[in-house]
Structure 1
Amino acid sequence: MSKNKQSCAVGIIAEYNPFHNGHAYHIKKAKELTKADYCIVAMSGDFVQRGAPAIYDKHTRAAMALCCGADLVLEIPSLFASSSAEDFAACGVALLDGLGVTNSLCFGSECGDVEKLSGIASILATEPASYTEHLKKALKSGATFPEARNHGLIASGVLQAEDAHILASPNNILGIEYCKALHRQKSSMTPVTISRKGMGYHDTGLTEGIYGSATGIRKALKESSGLLTAENPILAQVPEPVKEMMKQGFPMFPQDLSVLLNTSLLRLAQEGIPYKNYADVSEELAARIQGQLPDYLPFEEKISSLKTRQYTYTRISRALLHIILGGTSDKVRTGRKAGYAPYARVLGFKKASSGLMGEIKMRGRIPLITKTADAGMILKGEALSMLQHDFYCSHIYQTLVQDKYHIKQNNEFTQPLIIL
C-alpha cells in the first residue's frame, strides 16, 4: 500500500455472541464485495443488545474475530451496546464513521436488497407527512406500532404490500436502522448488505453443514453447561481457530445475573430511587417491577413475569440490565448529545494491519483509546464518563465470571490489547 494512498476499509457492527461460521462468511464476503483492504468491527462489549451478558467476554470474542478475518475490533460504548436497535445502530455507525477511514458499512439481512432497505430507512429517518399521518391514524385505530409503521410505509408508497414481511425479520430491521443512522448522520459510508444464509435469527436447531444461528449455539452451550467435548455439534458451527477458545472459555448466561438483579432492585427501593430513572423503564413497567419486588425470581423468570403485549421480552431484559448496570435515562440522553461514540476503544488488532491504526490517528475525528490508563489524559467530560461506565460494566462482568468459575480475571487496567 502506497504511503500516499488511503486504504479502503469496510465496517461491520456486530456482537459475535458467539462468533460462528456465518460471521466468518460475512467478513470474507464484506471484503470481497467492497474490495476493502481492511475490515473494522464495532463490537458489543461484555453486555449485548438483547439485554444479557455476552456468552464470552469481549476480549475472547475480539480474538475470535481477529483470527477469522477482522483487522481491528473496537468496543461499542456500553450505554448503547445494550440499548434499542435504533440507538445500537446509531452508536455503531457513529463509531465507524468517526474513524475517518471507513468507506462502507456491510451488514447481513434476510432481504438482501440494500435499495429497498435504504428506501424504507429514508422515510423513517425523515418522517414525511405522507407517512406520519397514516401512522397516527393506524395507531388510533388500535394497531400495534409495527402494524401502524407498515401501514404508513405502504400508504406513502415506499413499501409494497407484498413486501410488508421485510419489517418482521430481525436482521432487516437492524439493517434499516443502520441505513437510517447513515442518513441522519450524513455519513459518507456506503451501505452494503449480504443475504443471510443458514438458520434464521431465532432458529435454535444446529445442523452440520448449515450455518447455525448465534441463538441456537447459545442454547446448545447452555444445555451442555458450557462443557465442549470433541463430539459436541457446536464445534461444527465455528471456525477452527474459535474451537479452542470456546473450549477454554467461561460462558455466561442471563441467569447468572439473578442475584445481582434482585439485590439492585432491593437497594434502589431502600434508597427511594425510582426505577423509572433507568433507560427503557416506563412508569407502568416500574410499577410492575415494584409490585413484584419480594418475589426474588431468577433473571429470566423475572422477565417472563413482567412481560405483556406492550412490553416484549427483550425490552424488559434491556430495562432490567440498565438497572443492574446503572444505565439511567439521563446518561443515555447525555451520550446521544455527545455523539453516541466520542471515542474509539481498541480491543485488538492484527500486527499486519498496524498501518490502519496510523491512518485512523491521522484522519479520525474521535480519539483512539489503546491504553486505558491514559484515558484520563485523552478524554474529558461526558466522553470520559462514558468510558468509565464501560469500565464499570466490564468489571461487573469480570466479578460474575470470577464468582461462577473461581478463576482470576484481568480487569480493564491489566488486560492487554489482543494483538495477533
Structure 2
Amino acid sequence: MTPVEGLLRELAPQVLGALARRYGQFDAAEDAVQEALLAAATQWPHDGVPDNPRGWLSAVATRRLIDEFRSDSARRRREAEAELEKPDVPHTDDTLTLLFLCAHPSLSPPSQLALTLRAVGGLTTAEIAAAFLVPESTMAQRISRAKQTIRKSGLGFEPPPAGERAERLRVLRQVLYLIFNEGYTASGGPQLQRADLTSEAIRLARMLRAAAPKDTECGGLLALMLLTDARRAARADAAGDLVPLDRQDRSLWSKEQIAEGLELVSATLGRGPIGPYQLQAAIAALHDEAASDAETDWPQILALYNVLERVSPGPVVTLNKAVAVARTSGPLAGLAALGELDGDERMAGNHRVEAVRAHLLEQAGFHAEAQAAFRRAARLTTSIPEQRYLNQRALTLPEH
C-alpha cells in the first residue's frame, strides 16, 4: 500500500461520516466520497498531497453531492443551496457511528462485510470483489442493495440507542473478525493469505478499540488479530505453500505484534465479562509465547477451550478443541472428540474437519484412512495452496 493509499483509507470514514451526518443521506454521501477518493488517487500522486487533505476530500465530495442533488429537482436544489450556507461541521470522529451503520442487523452478513470495507475501509468495489473472489458486478450489486436497505429503512446517521449498543458492537466485532479470517486464510483462489485484508481488519479493530475503550471484547478482538497475524511470515514457504503451525520457523514471527497482543490480553482478560475474543486471544498468546511446538502449554490451551465451549459453543470451537485433546491425551482421544461433529450440518462440506481427521488418523498410525481423508479435504477446499498441501500429505502416506 502506498502512502497516498494509506492516507485515503484513513480519511475515507472521517469524510463520509461528516457528510452523512450533515446531509442525512448515507447512500448519496458514500457515492460522493468514492468519487472524491478516486479523484485524489489520480491527482495526488502527480500533484502532491494538499496541505489539508481531509478538507480537499470534503470539498470535492460535497461538490459531487450538491451536483447530484441539483440534478434531482428544483426542490432538492434549494435544499442543497441552503445546506451550503451552513457553517462547516466541526472535525469530529464519526467512525464508530459509521461502523454501526454498516454492521446494522437489517443487512445480511455478506452485505455488512462489503459495506464496511467500502465505506469505512475505503476499498474500491473491484478490490472487495477480488478479496472475496466474486465478479465486480456481483459485488457492486451487493453494495448497492445494502445502501438501498439502509435508505428504505429510514435509519438516520446517529449512534444506536443505549439498549442496542451491546448487540450492535457484537455484530460489528463479528464483521471485523470475518474480514480478518478471510485475509488470514483465503477461502479460495491462488493465495494462501491476503495481507491487505488482515491489515485492514487490524486497522479497523484499532479504530473500534479507540472508540469503545471500555469494551474488553473489542480489546480482545484486536489482541487476537495481532497475535494471529504475527505468524503470517512463517505460514508459507518460498513457493507460497502452506507451512503448518508445528513446523513454522518461529524466528519469523513478529515480535512487535506479539508484544502488543500480549499487553492487550493482560489489559483486558479478567477486567470485564469474559467473551470469546478474549479467550481466543489468550489461546493465541499461549501459542506465541512458546519457544517451540514441543513447549506449547497444551493442557492450559485445552482448559481455555473448555471455557470457550461454555461461553460461546459452536462447531469451530469443537473442532479446535479436538486438536487440543489430541495433543494432551493422544490422537485416538482427539478422534473421539472430533466425532462430536459427525452429522453436524453446520460443518457439512467443511474441509477443515477432514483435514484434522486426516492428521489425527496419521498420528494414530491409520495411514490408508488418513490418506483418504487428506484427499477428501483437498477436494472440499477451493484454496489452491491448501489443495497442494493436503494432496502432498496424502502422497507421503502408504495406501496399505
Rg (Cα) greater in structure? 2
- Which gives a bigger RCO, structure 1 or 2 (Cα 8 Å, sep 6+)? 1
Whether these two folds match at TM > 0.5 is no
TM (norm. structure 1) is: 0.23
- Structure with bigger strand share is 1
- Structure with bigger helix share is 2
TM (norm. structure 2) is: 0.24
